[in-house]
Each structure stands twice: as C-alpha cells, then as structure tokens.
C-alpha cells in the first residue's frame, strides 16, 4: 500500500524518471526543461492561440508536454451540454435494458470491485493544426473493466448494442422529413456488444491517481482505448442494453465523416460514425541546449504496434526518431529526435508514423476525398526560426 501511494504521488508530482523506474513505472526520458535548455519558438502558432486552463472547453498547450501523463488541470476538455456537477455520494450508475439483473451501483459499490489502471491517450476527432493539435491528452485511468460489470448484470443473448448516456443534456431540434421535433436529450453514444465485451473498455473513476475532475467526467466515465474522444462518454449516468442500433445525434449525425472511396473502380460515398483513432504523429516541442536541438512529439493511434516514426527537416531525408520507454499500447506514444547541425534561419520540420501493417500517416492531398473536417490525421509541418 505504501508503495502504491508513493507511486501515485510520483505520477501526480511528475517525479523524475529514475524514481519512477525504481517503482516499476515505465521510465520517462524527457524531463521538464533541463538546466540550460530553452524552448525554440514555433513560427506557425496562430495569433489568437491562447490556451486557457480554466475554460470549460480546454485545449492542451502541447509545447508544455513534460511527462507521459497530462496533468489533470491541463487535460483537454470538450463537451456539448456543459459540465454537470454530480454529487459522488448520491451518484448511482443505472444499468437497464436487456440484462438479467438490471440495477443501480453507487460509487462505493464500483470502487469496491476489482480495480486496475490503464494508460489511454486520445484526441477529439476535430483536432487539427487550427488548435495546434491541443485537443489531445494522455491519462492514467483507474477504474474497472466494462466487461466485468456487464458479465455481472448478465447481458441477454438478444442484447446487441450498449448505449452510454451522460448526465448532461440539452434541447435539440431533431429533423425528420421536413418536420422538426424539439426534445431534451442526454448526451449518448453506443458501441456493439462485441466491442463492449473486449478487455479494453474501461469505466474510470480516477485520473492520474486522483478522483476524476468535473472537466473529465466525475464521478464516472467510459474510456474506449484506441478510439476518438467522442467515444469516451463522461458523467456516465446510465448504461442501456438494446437490440437495435442507436442513432443519437452524437453517434450518427454530429460525429460523422463523409468520404469517397474507390471500390472496384467505382466511387462510393460513405458516411461513417467516428470510431477508432487514425494514425497520427505530431511534433509538439523543440528545445535547444547550446548548439544541440531536440524534437519531441507524440503519436496517437488505435493500438496497432508501430514500425517507425520519422522526422524530416526541410528537404532532407526522413530520419528515424526514438520511441520513449513510457509508451504503452493505448497511451499516446512519445518520440524524440536529435536535430543535429541546425543552421540559423527558417526551417520546416515534419513527422510521419508508419504502423506494422505498413499504414503510413497520409499527407493532406491523400485526404482529398474526405469532405468533412473531422479525422484530419495528415502530416503536420512545423516551422521554426533558428537564431
């Protein structure tokens, strides 16, 4: 227990890598700025870019990444109906629908079950260069496996779809054949029973060793490792199991990609729900110590093992970056690259990631048939001015 507490304190306090390693936590080789190390300013930051940590919609200033886990007061936050305040002592998770034992669980009930920790990083599907890729973060979540809870309540064979409703709600105009219906609805997202029964989906009540904050969905949220942000339902109030597809606004309409695909020589226009993270790498920070420059970045993907991350400076060749030992399957994956011989003047740096299946992070032009703006995982060129 003492060890557990020390470890938690270490994660919260961002203890040095060596200390964490001694406690069995994967090492972190990228400390906060070392003595004599300075940040190199990017020249591509939009003028109005000013991340406000106190805002309800909060984005991370990725130049400040200095450890594997995003501190809870910097973790990005997106929500559509504001942030409900839920009293953890009266909170009840309701499980309804096609289950043998529908029922309610208090937070104490949930905390009493076998718990585990899971590193999971993700981005909002709307993340892009516009917000300097700051709609992304990486957390160490504490909680229980969804599949364990579903096994406990017993999903009936006809239960095919698992719907998660948040406590947050708002009035929506639902358009149907020219007619508008006004309803007050809860935020909702669904997954198939096959996905729900995999070992990964997680109901989290802790972040980085502390109870979830209101920003991140206190007292309980869903974590879908390897999926875009929208799947990670915050303030979960009700899990409902049904037979049919759930077509709520945030499942079927608002979070959707329209993309043309050549199939057997014919263009097929497909609209698909936002689900698994597309392969993306981002250069987040460049530092200088004397004449030495170091590039730091991260990769987000669906958990498929990676083959390589490479960095290109100006018109030079692609050069391999080094992966950080703190990386795990569903965490964001940090990388560094030693930029040698940087000359004074403007430079462009870009990264690209390739997974073991040979999928390569696309360039912008390859996403031409994607008409809607979500799921932009194109290579992200950064510019700096070396003085």
Ligand X SMILES: Nc1nc2c(c(=O)[nH]1)N[C@H]1C(S)=C(S)[C@@H](COP(=O)(O)O)O[C@H]1N2
Min CB(382)–Mo ion separation in Å: 23
**Among the listed residues 42, 141, 235, 380, the single contact to ligand X using CB under 6 A:** 235
By CB under 6 A, the residues from 179 to 218 that bind ligand X are 187, 216
Q: 350 Cβ partners below 8 Å, 6+ apart? A: 283, 311, 312, 379, 380, 381, 382
Q: Name the segment binding Mo ion (CB under 5 A); options: 37-45, 169-177, 197-205, 230-238.
A: 230-238
Minimum CB distance to ligand X smaller for 71 or for 337? 71
Q: Is 139 helix (H, G, I), strand (E, B) or coil?
A: strand
355 contact, one of Mo ion, ligand X, none, CB 5-8 Å limit per kind: none
Phi/psi region, residue 290 (left: phi>0; alpha: psi -120 to 50; beta: rest), is left
79 contact, one of Mo ion, ligand X, none, CB 5-8 Å limit per kind: ligand X
Please tell me what DSSP assigns to residue 257: E
Minimum CB distance to ligand X smaller for 133 or for 216? 216
Is residue 78 close enough to count as binding Mo ion by CB under 5 A? yes
Token pair belonging to 197? 């029964």
Q: What span, in angstroms and rounded, lies between the C-alpha atoms of 229 and 224?
A: 8
**CA angle centred on 236, ends 79 and 167, rounded to 5°:** 65
CB 367 within 8 A of CB 334: no
Is residue 354 close enough to count as binding ligand X by CB under 6 A? no
Q: What span, in angstroms and rounded, lies between the C-alpha atoms of 160 and 241?
A: 7
Minimum CB distance to Mo ion smaller for 223 or for 306? 223
Alpha carbon 153 to chain centroid, angstroms: 29
Is residue 332 close enough to count as binding ligand X by CB under 6 A? no
Is residue 168 close enough to count as binding ligand X by CB under 6 A? yes
Q: Which helix (H) or strand (E) holds 155?
A: none
234 contact, one of Mo ion, ligand X, none, CB 5-8 Å limit per kind: ligand X
Nearest residue to Mo ion on Cβ basis: 124
Q: What span, in angstroms and rounded, lies between the C-alpha atoms of 376 and 105?
A: 38
Q: 328 Cβ partners below 8 Å, 6+ apart? A: 26, 119
CB 185 within 8 A of CB 164: no
By CB under 5 A, the residues from 174 to 213 that bind Mo ion are none
- Count the alpha carbons within 13 Å of 162 in the hemisphere toward its beta carbon: 28
Minimum CB distance to Mo ion smaller for 110 or for 277? 277
Is residue 233 close enough to count as binding ligand X by CB under 6 A? yes
Q: Name the segment binding Mo ion (CB under 5 A); options: 123-131, 145-153, 180-188, 356-364.
A: 123-131
Q: Name the segment binding Mo ion (CB under 5 A); options: 139-147, 153-161, 225-233, 379-387.
A: 225-233
Is residue 286 close enough to count as binding Mo ion by CB under 5 A? no
207 contact, one of ligand X, Mo ion, none, CB 5-8 Å limit per kind: none
**CA angle centred on 180, ends 176 and 185, rounded to 5°:** 95
140 contact, one of Mo ion, ligand X, none, CB 5-8 Å limit per kind: none
Minimum CB distance to ligand X smaller for 216 or for 331? 216
Q: Which helix (H) or strand (E) holds 7?
A: helix 2-13
Q: How many residues bind Mo ion (CB under 5 A)?
A: 4
Is residue 124 close enough to count as binding ligand X by CB under 6 A? yes
Minimum CB distance to ligand X smaller for 67 or for 248? 248
Is residue 230 close enough to count as binding Mo ion by CB under 5 A? yes
Q: Is 28 helix (H, G, I), strand (E, B) or coil?
A: coil
CB 313 within 8 A of CB 381: no
Min CB(36)–ligand X separation in Å: 34
CB 181 within 8 A of CB 174: yes
Q: How many residues bind ligand X (CB under 6 A)?
A: 18
Give the x-and-dash track for 60-99 against ligand X (CB under 6 A): ---------------xxxxxx-------------------
Nearest to 331, CA basis, from 367, 310, 306, 352:
306
Q: What span, in angstroms and rounded, lies between the C-alpha atoms of 133 and 76?
A: 11
Min CB(216)–ligand X separation in Å: 4
Minimum CB distance to ligand X smaller for 79 or for 348? 79
Binding site for ligand X (CB under 6 A): 75-80, 124, 137, 166, 168, 187, 216, 229-230, 232-235
Binding site for Mo ion (CB under 5 A): 78, 124, 229-230
């Amino acid at each position: 227990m003492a060890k557990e507490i020390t470890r938690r304190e270490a994660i919260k306090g961002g203890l040095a890598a060596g200390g964490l390693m001694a406690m069995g936590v994967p090492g972190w080789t990228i400390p906060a700025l070392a003595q004599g190390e300075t940040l190199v300013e990017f020249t591509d930051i939009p003028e109005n870019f000013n991340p406000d940590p106190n805002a309800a919609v909060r984005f991370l200033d990725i130049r400040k990444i200095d450890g594997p886990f995003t501190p809870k007061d910097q973790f990005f936050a997106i929500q559509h109906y504001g942030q409900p305040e839920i009293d953890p002592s009266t909170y009840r998770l309701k499980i309804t629908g096609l289950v043998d034992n529908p029922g309610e669980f208090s937070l104490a009930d949930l905390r009493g079950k076998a718990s585990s920790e899971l590193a999971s990083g993700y981005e909002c599907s709307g993340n892009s260069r516009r917000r300097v890729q700051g709609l992304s973060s990486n957390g160490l979540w504490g909680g229980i496996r969804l599949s364990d809870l579903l096994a406990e309540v017993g999903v009936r064979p006809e239960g095919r779809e698992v719907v998660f409703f948040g406590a947050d709600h708002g009035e929506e105009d639902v358009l149907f054949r020219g007619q508008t219906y006004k309803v007050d609805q809860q935020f909702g997202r669904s997954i198939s029973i096959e996905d729900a029964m995999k070992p990964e989906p997680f109901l989290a009540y802790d972040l980085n060793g502390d109870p979830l904050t209101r920003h991140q969905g206190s007292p309980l949220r869903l974590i879908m490792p390897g999926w875009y942000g929208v799947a990670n339902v915050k303030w979960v109030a009700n899990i409902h199991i049904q037979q049919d597809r759930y077509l709520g606004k945030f499942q079927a309409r608002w979070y959707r990609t329209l993309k043309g695909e050549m199939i057997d020589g014919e263009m097929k226009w497909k609209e698909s729900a936002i689900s698994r993270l597309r392969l993306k790498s981002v250069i987040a920070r460049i530092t200088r110590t004397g004449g030495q420059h170091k590039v730091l970045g991260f990769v987000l993907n669906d958990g498929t093992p990676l083959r390589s991350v490479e960095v290109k400076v100006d018109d030079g060749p692609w050069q391999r970056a080094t992966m950080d030992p703190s990386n795990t399957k569903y965490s964001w994956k940090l990388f560094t690259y030693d930029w040698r011989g940087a000359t004074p003047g403007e430079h462009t740096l870009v990264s690209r990631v390739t997974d073991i299946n040979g999928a390569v992070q696309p360039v912008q032009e390859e996403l031409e048939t994607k008409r809607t703006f979500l799921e932009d995982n194109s290579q992200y060129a950064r510019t700096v001015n070396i003085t």
